[in-house]
Structure 1
Amino acid sequence: MRREDIILETSLGRLLEAYADHCRRNGLRESSVQLYRKLALRFLKGLEDAGVIEAAGIGPHEVSCACLALKSNYYLSAIHTFLRFLTEEGYTQRDYSCIVPLFKRPQPMPPVYSEAEIRRIEAAVDRQGPHGKRDYAALLLATRLGIRGGDIATLTFEELDFKRNTICLTQQKTAVLLSLPMLPEIKAALLDYLEHERASSDSAYVFLSLKPPFSHISVHLLGKLTSTAIRSAGIVPGGRKCGPHAFRASLASSMVNDDVPYEVVRNTLGHTDGSGAGLRCFSFPRPTSRRTFETRCRITLFPDDPESNRDLPGTPAAHTGTMPA
């Protein structure tokens, strides 16, 4: 039986829907709700296989059996949360989350590409190919600004302001507004794609597929074009990832090693965790600081502060949703 075909045959199914509603009430995005629901479903199926037919029958032995049936230790944290929910809502009299071992994901060295490698990757894109201008513009959004793949794939014209040179979007992962400067090389690449390659379509999305009905590109396609560029550049990834997300790590690493404050790095990447703890793993010995990102960060963080930007060219103003002429 495939995991997506799992069907609960007892009253435990009611717990699943109650948990999903609980997650929504607590402000989780629908994608997160579905993830937690899927993991709870697998756990509940394990309880059924252990002979449980209702919430009252859940005990330490059944919980242990269901946990052992899970395919990955990464699921245990979500099961821990689910069991606490059952107790808090009165479905179980005892909190069995205490018998579920806590498992933390290891924190490996981030998959960083050097500045020289990123330049080679960008240059490896064949901009004269049938979709080269699209791929190049999308790639620059990842390498130069660290925008997530999902946000690049669904970028709309409303989020681009070519007059004020800003990109203002609501992140899919966090639902938090992110405002970034439209760097000159990114603006040039976007206009080159829009004027010379993009299909004639009234779609609100910027990056379109090559064939009708011209839907927006997928995150999978972004990963494919990124790995193709890395391979064409003659770079051996080793243990590094090859998707657009790897460039977020590269950007964070360069900024941290340029002594850019963690708060500025956090705002640039659109992180919602204010502690900055998640960024500290990106600091490791690198060549002498070149202040590569100082100007962009100052413009991003202090767009309307003339004192902070008194020696900088053009400060981007607020987003107006302007499309190119």
Structure 2
Amino acid sequence: MDLHGWIDTYLDHLRVERALAKNTLEAYSRDLGDLVKHLDDAAVDDVRRIESTHMLEFLVKSAERGLSARSSSRQLSAIRGFFKFLVRERAVETDPTELVDRPKLARKLPRTLSYEEVERLLAAPPSDTARGIRDSAMIHLMYASGLRVSELCTLKLGELDRKVGTVSPLGKGTKRRIIPVGQVALERLDIYIDLVRVHAKGAATEPHLFLSPRGKRFTRQGFWKLLKAYAKGCGIRTPISPHKLRHSFATHLLRGGADLRAVQAMLGHADLGTTEIYTRVAVDHIRTAYDRAHPRA
């Protein structure tokens, strides 16, 4: 089987056996497609002829085209996964990426909202309109549970347990997790479900929790727009996004003393290292308080 055939087989493996999300599969396909173009230029179409030098040349050319270290690192991860698959399938004897170092990344700290900014944002939607009640429930739930915006918009009514106080979204890789929801957010959800959603268009047939005026599930773009509008209306000047609200959820939990493993489980991170970045933000907050208060700081 030639290189193109093995890549098609690998992508089928990721889709069927690993059940990776559509966006992740598309990213893998692009990265491996770039590798194919590079190897085509080098007249290499047999996976057994690919060597470490080909991988190094590929990364160098990617950098010369202006690809960032983060994107280059993602490319290398996709290619490493491909060659590990080839080794398991005994298509090649060795992995040519083993001796290739991952580009060093300057890890960015996530930007978060302050407690005071979150309070203003949560209070921004009007409580005397159906739209305001819905928007309030969405924003409260996102901050209370740290959902990804895609999880918030695809959350179904049956995935909210109002008695126990939990949500169970279907996250990346079709993995489901259970997240507690605070009492304040539950109260907002109760008002929305019992007084607004029950009368909304499509309520009887649409399974999703949050509905648009057309009776369909709410979109990510729609939530992004309403969040920006409410942030602007309540005087938040820093750029805002749904993911910043998720960052704030994690950081505020850790500042309050939450266990790192518990936060990892709630966020749905496969790797604890991804969650650990929030501890840096929490420690920075402590350092600021120390410098401000200690006489010998």
Superposed pair shares fold, TM > 0.5: yes
Q: Given the superposition, is the C-alpha separation of residues 279 and 88 from structure 1 closer, same or farther in structure 2, using an over 3 Å criterion? A: same
Corresponding residue of 2:95: 95
Q: Is the 8 A contact 1:165 1:183 kept in 2?
A: no
Residue 115 of structure 1 deviates from its aligned partner by 1.0
Q: Is the 8 A contact 1:43 1:66 kept in 2?
A: yes
Q: Is the 8 A contact 2:137 2:189 kept in 1?
A: yes
Tell me, what secondary structure is at the counterpart of 1:97?
coil
Residue 14 of structure 1 deviates from its aligned partner by 0.6
Q: Is the 8 A contact 2:3 2:47 kept in 1?
A: yes
Q: Given the superposition, is the C-alpha separation of residues 133 and 48 from structure 1 closer, same or farther in structure 2, using an over 3 Å criterion? A: farther
Q: Normalising to structure 1: TM-score of the pair?
A: 0.71
Tell me, what secondary structure is at the counterpart of 1:83?
helix
Between 1:97-106 and 1:271-280, the stretch displaced more is 271-280
Structure 2 residue 46 is the aligned partner of structure 1 residue 43:
no
Tell me, what secondary structure is at the counterpart of 2:108?
coil
Corresponding residue of 2:167: 168
Structure 2 residue 107 is the aligned partner of structure 1 residue 107:
yes
Structure 2 residue 103 is the aligned partner of structure 1 residue 81:
no
Structure number having the greater helix percentage: 2
Corresponding residue of 2:234: 233
Q: Is the 8 A contact 2:83 2:96 kept in 1?
A: yes
Could you report, residue by residue, the CA deviation over 1:235-292 in whole angstroms, capped at 9, with x for unpaired residues? 1216xxx22221222122222222222233334434444676454334224379xxxx
Q: Is the 8 A contact 1:43 1:67 kept in 2?
A: no
Tell me, what secondary structure is at the counterpart of 2:218?
coil
- 1:107 partner amino acid: R
Corresponding residue of 2:208: 205
Could you report, residue by residue, the CA deviation over 1:195-249 in whole angstroms, capped at 9, with x for unpaired residues? 23632432111112222xx3312223222222222222221216xxx22221222
Residue 114 of structure 1 deviates from its aligned partner by 0.9
Match of 1:264 among 262, 265, 269: 262
Residue 97 of structure 1 deviates from its aligned partner by 0.3
Residue 193 of structure 1 deviates from its aligned partner by 5.8
Q: Which runs of 5+ in 2 are unaligned?
A: 288-297
Structure 2 distance, partners of 1:270, 1:101, is 28
In the comparison of the two structures, how many residue pairs are matched? 273
Tell me, what secondary structure is at the counterpart of 1:199?
coil
Residue 153 of structure 1 deviates from its aligned partner by 0.3
Residue 98 of structure 1 deviates from its aligned partner by 3.3
Q: Is the 8 A contact 1:110 1:249 kept in 2?
A: yes
Tell me, what secondary structure is at the counterpart of 2:166?
strand
Q: Quick one: percent identity of the two aligned structures? A: 22
- 1:234 partner amino acid: G
Q: Which runs of 5+ in 1 are unaligned?
A: 1-9, 289-325
Match of 1:58 among 34, 37, 50: 50
Between 1:104-113 and 1:120-129, the stretch displaced more is 120-129
Structure 2 distance, partners of 1:177, 1:259, is 22
CA RMSD of aligned residues (A): 3.1
Structure 2 residue 3 is the aligned partner of structure 1 residue 12:
yes
- 2:44 partner amino acid: V
Structure 2 residue 146 is the aligned partner of structure 1 residue 146:
yes
Residue 130 of structure 1 deviates from its aligned partner by 7.1
Structure 1 distance, partners of 2:286, 2:48, is 61
- 2:18 partner amino acid: G
